[in-house]
Amino acid sequence: MSKLSTVARRLVLGRPFRSDRLSHTLLPKRIALPVFASDALSSVAYAPEEIFLVLSVAGLAAYSMAPWIGLAVAGVMIIVIASYRQNVHAYPSGGGDYEVVTTNLGPTAGLTVASALLIDYVLTVAVSMSSAMTNIGSAVPFINDHKVWFAVIAILVLASLNLRGIRESGTAFAIPTYAFMIGMYAMLAWGFLQILVLGRDLRAESAGFEMHSEHGEVLGFALVFLVARAFSSGSAALTGVEAISNGVPAFRKPKSRNAATTLLLLGVIAITLFMGMILLARATGVQVAERPLEQLGGAPADYQQKTLIAQLADAVFHDFPLGLYLIAGVTALILVLAANTAFNGFPVLGSILAQDRFLPRQLHTRGDRLAFSNGILFLAFGAIAFVVAFQAEVTALIQLYIVGVFVSFTFSQIGMVRHWTRLLRTETDPAARRRMMRARVINSVGLVCTGTVLVIVVVTKFLAGAWIAILAMSALFGLMKLIHKHYASVTRELEARAAETEDIVLPSRNHAIVLVSNAHLPTLRALAYARATRPDVLEAITVSVDDAETRQLVHKWEHSDISVPLKVVASPYREITRPVLDYVKRVGKDSPRTVVTVFIPEYVVGHWWEQVLHNQSALRLKGRLLFEPNVMVTSVPWQLSSSERLKKLAPQSAPGDARRGFLD
Amino acid sequence: MSKLSTVARRLVLGRPFRSDRLSHTLLPKRIALPVFASDALSSVAYAPEEIFLVLSVAGLAAYSMAPWIGLAVAGVMIIVIASYRQNVHAYPSGGGDYEVVTTNLGPTAGLTVASALLIDYVLTVAVSMSSAMTNIGSAVPFINDHKVWFAVIAILVLASLNLRGIRESGTAFAIPTYAFMIGMYAMLAWGFLQILVLGRDLRAESAGFEMHSEHGEVLGFALVFLVARAFSSGSAALTGVEAISNGVPAFRKPKSRNAATTLLLLGVIAITLFMGMILLARATGVQVAERPLEQLGGAPADYQQKTLIAQLADAVFHDFPLGLYLIAGVTALILVLAANTAFNGFPVLGSILAQDRFLPRQLHTRGDRLAFSNGILFLAFGAIAFVVAFQAEVTALIQLYIVGVFVSFTFSQIGMVRHWTRLLRTETDPAARRRMMRARVINSVGLVCTGTVLVIVVVTKFLAGAWIAILAMSALFGLMKLIHKHYASVTRELEARAAETEDIVLPSRNHAIVLVSNAHLPTLRALAYARATRPDVLEAITVSVDDAETRQLVHKWEHSDISVPLKVVASPYREITRPVLDYVKRVGKDSPRTVVTVFIPEYVVGHWWEQVLHNQSALRLKGRLLFEPNVMVTSVPWQLSSSERLKKLAPQSAPGDARRGFLD
């Protein structure tokens, strides 16, 4: 900044155009927690259940392993959170994993992480929405019966809200998140209180069924594989932990410390909820099966298996039926919020990738509504494709999920280890060195741990669906590589041209041509403006598409006081583009130092359908003229009254504003 | 023309830019006949059959009325052809019914005819393709089993051929048309020869079945209604007669006379084929039923009813099995050709309507590929919708058809009667008066006749499906009215402004702003060009979206030999559009007589995906700047090497070229 300001002192700096409605507020921790916590906490809604579902394959006996698997997941989570607390301190700029990896491991590794994260955003929407509909469907059977439709519609609604630019407020995040936390803690506390203190016998509705193993007794390697797979599915609880590392700049000062504290808080909440649910499920005897009608002996023929959360709420609040609806409601709410954060994160990551020229340049500008729109549409349609393809089954979708998250975790930790090693090379202060050594140890443990989980996840889920996610990541990686290559080749082309050209030839002559279709005001203004550029030659041309009309125009022109001569260009084939193009070419041919400026009067209108009715020929002509060297195309707008309605540029708000500290 | 040439003498007229590959050839009659005959002749493929199908409802006895109904249709056809011979003489300009009606009955009547014709083009494609697939399906059962698919694919293929711009040649029209004529005449001649001269007993495959009436004996009013309906369906044979009246300018001189002769020739061929088929069908005992398995006693359980033509070919060529395939083939071919003529006629009528501002203006230019493309796509998807909705059943589609044709026939004849009456008011030469009187009588007879048929068609078919066609016509009519109204209101707005403004304010000052994102060649060229327009102020501005990049740019600028000052506009929200817009506004505010010219360097690229990667921000900015008064936007193109591939403008060919005398 300092260099810019000295250089810029001689330049006129534009006043910052602050919008009065959008302000940059730094987040206090009590708001930052809900803003960043929804993805991490929402996964508690499905992760414990997925552990039980996988274990159900081996029958009821395997259920006893659930708490241990839960502990393993919690252990990994503690290590990951400890690792990310280091990231937050080392990279407070908000670049997240992509920045850490690109800086330390180079752009290819960074791009790998970016592809993984982009695909995982899509899957977050698909999984969260499917889970939301299954949870609310446990209370409202109608929704369960049509959950694909409801999930698709919910995604579309969310996408359109984001397209219109929802104003993000801390409250919008705080209410559902705190409601979910309170609801869950209340359920767990009241449940354990009843069992442990009041000595009540809480039984879930499925506790009485007799669960059969699907394939007889599962033993040896198969059992190991099954446990590993249950662990993989449970690791879904870790998604969302990295969110805070992208949002450090939005925190109040000391930013890094506050972010690290929030991260710790988030970890404590997630782990207690996660473990609490597993233990309460064991205590109430909940049984969930992948194919309930076949596996659960004693279940009625029309048995509709509820989610784990719903069964727990049902059992805990058996004398307060509203409890089920409340728990199902807040669970669905936080899941929708989690899906929404993907709608925020996706375009933000996109804009960082655009900055590095891996995505189209214009995605870089934050305020660019269209750029965000494309991202939102891409995300929505991707998620809908997954939801429809997997019929909104969380268990099926979860097989594709997490690979991306752990790719990014692992690369990030490799990057952090390198980061500390590099710093240690130059650092001499013993205290600092000791801090760095400790941080490197933490990140190394994180690396070993996340790397191991990644291997387990890929091995246990590859054939079950992870290959689809990996394929999609590879395709995205290839596409972004190609885009980068294109930009590089354009830069090279320009440099090569710059090397061979000594200097840009200064035009010695300016030949102005005004395109006329009618002798009305827009044309007169175009003529006046063209004259204001003081060209060496100024002429008006019209293309004779219709004899009668041309005759009329020429007559009107002759009898007006316009002093510019009107040339009629014949068009025997009733075209416009080619005759004008040929005329311009002939004018330009005379001298290479002549620059031809073509003035096109254009209507400016306020509705898209008016745009269809006007300017189409002009638009096409402009497109063609640009291919001619030494031609400039100037649009001279004529604002029709309908354009007034579009004149005001609406203040921009963009998805993900809250995470970057822009709040209402 | 004379006025134009005198006035134009003082103007430089552009050399007509004749494309070497496209030439305007006038059609000799032997080529004109096939070019215009395919729609009229192709309807012979289904019209006779539809008469028998309707009559089958009343059982075999009703079949004896078929020749009489055929004669009635033939009578109407003679009258219509006689009437249109008058049209051709009176309106040789090729405007067709739309021109006749607009000139004589005003724009609303004209628009009614136009809507009717446009919808009928859509139905022509649907009916012809369905009939083509049914006919070829009579020889190849596999096609019959999947005729909806085949019809849809055929429409898509035809549309894409037309989108790519098929070069039309006389041969392409002549071969299928003459093949169909020869094939049909050969079949009829050989058939009647066998029966009448050789005394053979030719029996169609369905001759032995016992046809039951569907509703017992049909009597009284029901019988009258049935006969009227059979007549309506048979009147489908008249479609396509009006085609020649649109194509008079393409004929060799004397144009009108040659067109009238061709029309007569066409009528003779159509009527002989039509009547010949009906009589041969009676002679061979062909039976066709709407529900063959229920109505035809004695038919095998897997009986697949063939088309009338196929059954005739089968019977006539019983000892030459290839005959069936040949006849089915040429029939399908001419039907496809008929569908193709709709692809030609639709955009041509569209361009005439655009000229009168009932459709977007740019559709007016003939060479406009995009305009034609939209028309072709609209037509294709409309036809596909009808084909799918009615399962490619000709009998169902025919209920919607013809209404449009007879609306246009009837209005056209009213217009012609008015035309002669108006001319008679001023004409004094007795010979000319006599000619006009006779023409008026002919057109009056035509009016009474077509009007009656229109009433019969509407009455007998309204509930059976014609209401759909009428609804579609009304919707189109309303849409075109709205478009017209919009153009009129724009014209009024400009006139009102012209009245209140004495003169366009001449700008006194030209403030040029060059938009800079980088100090590379495209920017340097933009600066050089901007300087060539000798502005009063010339400055370069850049929007600081990214601090580091801006610092680099400013540094580079400072150390280059560019003398134009670079202003940095701050953009705290990482937008581009709004800061530039605000800056331009502030510049313009100083003085209302200042015109601001914004120069935007633009890359010109050769692939659409490159377009996605470049210029998007510039494009959006341009769009916004146009809303500012007193601002001109100038694109300064920089042609990247990939743009070379698009530089050549391919010579244009448009659908319907042949009908307007443009041949290869």
Distance in angstroms between the alpha carbons of the first and the last residue of chain A: 28
Give the pLDDT mean for A316-336.
Answer: 90
Same fold? A28-487, A509-647: no
Residue A479 Cα, gap to closest chain B Cα (Å): 12
Cα separations in angstroms, A325 against A183, A277, A333: 11, 18, 12
- Which two structure tokens, joined as six digits, stand for A649? 């540029």
Residue A323 CA from chain centroid, whole number: 34
pLDDT at A1 over 50: no
Nearest CA in chain A to B498: A521
Give the pLDDT mean for B634-652.
Answer: 72
Give the pLDDT mean for A563-577.
Answer: 82
SS3 annotation, B524-585: HHHHHHHHHCCCCEEEEEEEECCHHHHHHHHHHHHCCCCCCCEEEEECCCCCCHHHHHHHHH
The mean predicted confidence, pLDDT, of chain B is 83
Q: What is the pLDDT of residues A168-219, one digit of tens each?
A: 666 777 888 899 999 999 999 999 999 988 888 888 888 888 887 767 677 7
Verify whether the Cβ–Cβ distance B551 to A622 is below 8 Å.
no
Residue B84 Cα, gap to closest chain A Cα (Å): 26
pLDDT at A361 over 50: yes
Residue B388 Cα, gap to closest chain A Cα (Å): 26
What is the count of residue pairs from A and B with beta carbons less than 8 Å apart? Answer: 314
Among candidates B365, B493, B494 on the partner chain, residue whose Cβ is nearest the Cβ of A617:
B365
Least confident of B195-204, B456-465, B613-622: B613-622
- Which two structure tokens, joined as six digits, stand for B104? 């004589």
Flag whether residue B559 sits within 8 Å of chain A, measured between CB atoms: no
Q: What is the pLDDT of residue A653?
A: 57
Flag whether residue A17 sits within 8 Å of chain B, measured between CB atoms: yes
Verify whether the Cβ–Cβ distance B570 to A13 is below 8 Å.
yes
Query: Please, which pLDDT band fits residue B501 given cuts at 50, 70 and 90?
Result: low
Residue A619 Cα, gap to closest chain B Cα (Å): 10
Among candidates A14, A355, A649 on the partner chain, residue whose Cβ is nearest the Cβ of B546:
A355
Among candidates B551, B626, B635 on the partner chain, residue whose Cβ is nearest the Cβ of A604:
B626
pLDDT at A327 over 80: yes
pLDDT at B431 over 70: yes
Flag whether residue B603 sits within 8 Å of chain A, measured between CB atoms: yes
Give DSSP secondary structure letters for A37-69: HHHHHHGGGTHHHHHHHHHHTT-GGGGGGHHHH
Verify whether the Cβ–Cβ distance A367 to B529 is below 8 Å.
no
Residues of A in contact with B633 (CB under 8 A): 634-635, 637
Residues with Cβ < 8 Å from A428, sequence gap 6 or more?
Answer: none
Verify whether the Cβ–Cβ distance B574 to A365 is below 8 Å.
yes
pLDDT at B356 over 80: yes
Residue B15 Cα, gap to closest chain A Cα (Å): 7
Residues of A in contact with B483 (CB under 8 A): 613
Which residues, numbered 294 to 313 in chain B, qualify as contacts with chain A under a Cβ-Cβ cut-off of 8 Å?
Answer: none
Verify whether the Cβ–Cβ distance B568 to A18 is below 8 Å.
no
Which residues, numbered 61 to 120 in chain B, qualify as contacts with chain A under a Cβ-Cβ cut-off of 8 Å?
Answer: none
CATH code of A509-647, in short, is: 3.40.50
Residues of B in contact with A637 (CB under 8 A): 625-628, 631-633
Q: What is the pLDDT of residue A168?
A: 61
Q: What is the pLDDT of residues A464-496, one digit of tens each?
A: 888 999 999 999 999 999 999 988 988 888 888
User: Domain map of chain B by residue range?
Assistant: 27-197+210-358+368-402, 509-645
Give the pLDDT mean for A630-643.
Answer: 84
Q: What is the pLDDT of residues B364-388, one digit of tens each?
A: 766 556 657 778 888 999 999 999 9
Among B608, B632, B641, most A C-beta atoms within 10 A, so best to mutate, is: B632
The candidate with the shortest Cα–Cα distance to B598, out of A636, A514, A567, is A636
Among candidates A17, A370, A487 on the partner chain, residue whose Cβ is nearest the Cβ of B620:
A370
Flag whether residue A485 sits within 8 Å of chain B, measured between CB atoms: no
For the CA atoms of chain A, what is the radius of gyration? 32
Verify whether the Cβ–Cβ distance A574 to B367 is below 8 Å.
yes
Q: What is the pLDDT of residues B186-220, one digit of tens each?
A: 999 999 999 888 888 888 888 888 877 767 677 77
Query: Please, which pLDDT band fits residue B181 given cuts at 50, 70 and 90?
Result: very high
Residues of B in contact with A582 (CB under 8 A): 14, 17
Verify whether the Cβ–Cβ distance A361 to B639 is below 8 Å.
no
Match 């998807």 to its residue by tokens: B381
Query: Please, which pLDDT band fits residue A251 given cuts at 50, 70 and 90?
Result: confident
Query: Please, which pLDDT band fits residue A649 given cuts at 50, 70 and 90?
Result: low
Q: What is the pLDDT of residue B593?
A: 80
Q: What is the pLDDT of residue B4?
A: 40
Q: What is the pLDDT of residues B63-78, one digit of tens each?
A: 888 999 999 999 999 9
Q: What is the pLDDT of residue B2?
A: 40
Cα(A298)–Cα(B373) distance, integer angstroms: 64
Flag whether residue B374 sits within 8 Å of chain A, measured between CB atoms: no
Among candidates A19, A527, A574 on the partner chain, residue whose Cβ is nearest the Cβ of B366:
A574
Distance in angstroms between the alpha carbons of the first and the last residue of chain B: 28
**pLDDT above 90 coverage of chain A, percent:** 31
CB atoms within 10 A of CB A562: 16
The mean predicted confidence, pLDDT, of chain A is 83
Q: What is the pLDDT of residue A130?
A: 94
Verify whether the Cβ–Cβ distance A486 to B529 is below 8 Å.
no
Cα(B362)–Cα(B370) distance, integer angstroms: 9
Q: What share of chain A is helix, strand, coil (3-state, %, to 5)?
A: 70, 10, 25
Q: What is the pLDDT of residue A661?
A: 56
Verify whether the Cβ–Cβ distance A620 to B506 is below 8 Å.
no
pLDDT at A664 over 50: no
| Residue A343 or residue B171, greater confidence | A343
Among candidates A555, A576, A595 on the partner chain, residue whose Cβ is nearest the Cβ of B7:
A555
Q: What is the pLDDT of residues A18-52, one digit of tens each?
A: 333 344 567 787 888 887 888 888 999 999 999 99
Residue A28 Cα, gap to closest chain B Cα (Å): 22
Give the pLDDT mean for B258-277.
Answer: 92
Give the pLDDT mean for A558-565.
Answer: 85
Q: What is the pLDDT of residue A23?
A: 45
Residues of A in contact with B488 (CB under 8 A): none
Give backbone dihedrals phi and psi of B269, rounded to 5 degrees, phi first: -65, -50
Query: Please, which pLDDT band fits residue B15 given cuts at 50, 70 and 90?
Result: very low
Regarding the domain delimited by A28-487, which CATH topology (the fold level of the hierarchy) does it fall under?
Answer: Amino acid/polyamine transporter I (1.20.1740)
Cα separations in angstroms, A161 against A24, A130, A229, A381, A392: 22, 19, 37, 15, 22
Q: What is the pLDDT of residue A585?
A: 86
Q: Considering the entire predicted model, what is its pTM?
A: 0.70
Q: What is the pLDDT of residue A15?
A: 34
Give the pLDDT mean for B614-631.
Answer: 80
Among candidates B579, B597, B604 on the partner chain, residue whose Cβ is nearest the Cβ of A14:
B579
Query: Please, which pLDDT band fits residue B662 given cuts at 50, 70 and 90?
Result: low
Residue B229 CA from chain centroid, whole number: 28
Q: What is the pLDDT of residues B534-584, one digit of tens each?
A: 888 899 999 887 788 888 889 888 888 888 889 998 877 677 888 888 888
Regarding the domain delimited by B509-645, which CATH topology (the fold level of the hierarchy) does it fall under?
Answer: Rossmann fold (3.40.50)
**pLDDT above 70 coverage of chain A, percent:** 89
pLDDT at A134 over 70: yes
Flag whether residue B484 sits within 8 Å of chain A, measured between CB atoms: no
pLDDT at A164 over 80: no
Verify whether the Cβ–Cβ distance A17 to B639 is below 8 Å.
no
Give the pLDDT mean for A295-319.
Answer: 87
Query: Please, which pLDDT band fits residue B18 given cuts at 50, 70 and 90?
Result: very low
Flag whether residue B612 sits within 8 Å of chain A, measured between CB atoms: yes
Nearest CA in chain B to A374: B612
Q: What is the pLDDT of residue A657?
A: 62
Verify whether the Cβ–Cβ distance A637 to B626 is below 8 Å.
yes
pLDDT at B13 over 60: no
**Residue B663: helix, strand or coil by DSSP?**
strand
Query: Please, which pLDDT band fits residue A626 given cuts at 50, 70 and 90?
Result: confident
Flag whether residue B546 sits within 8 Å of chain A, measured between CB atoms: yes
Q: Please state which architecture CATH assigns to domain B27-197+210-358+368-402.
A: Up-down Bundle (1.20)
Which residues, numbered 199 to 238 in chain B, qualify as contacts with chain A under a Cβ-Cβ cut-off of 8 Å?
Answer: none
Residues of B in contact with A571 (CB under 8 A): 16-17, 367
- Beta strands B631-639 and A631-639: pairing type? antiparallel
Q: What is the pLDDT of residue B24?
A: 52
Residues of B in contact with A603 (CB under 8 A): 490
Verify whether the Cβ–Cβ distance B532 to A631 is below 8 Å.
no
Least confident of A154-168, A324-338, B123-137, B220-234: A154-168
The sign one gets for the Cα dihedral B485, B404, B452, B217 is: negative
Residues of A in contact with B505 (CB under 8 A): 528
Verify whether the Cβ–Cβ distance A568 to B8 is below 8 Å.
yes
Among candidates A4, A14, A510 on the partner chain, residue whose Cβ is nearest the Cβ of B547:
A4
Residue type, A373: S
Nearest CA in chain A to B575: A367
Q: What is the pLDDT of residues A365-398, one digit of tens each?
A: 665 565 577 788 889 999 999 999 999 899 889 8
Verify whether the Cβ–Cβ distance A550 to B510 is below 8 Å.
no
- Which two structure tokens, joined as six digits, stand for B621? 């900015």
**pLDDT above 70 coverage of chain B, percent:** 89
Cα(A517)–Cα(A306) distance, integer angstroms: 70
Residue type, B382: G
Cα(A128)–Cα(A236) distance, integer angstroms: 11
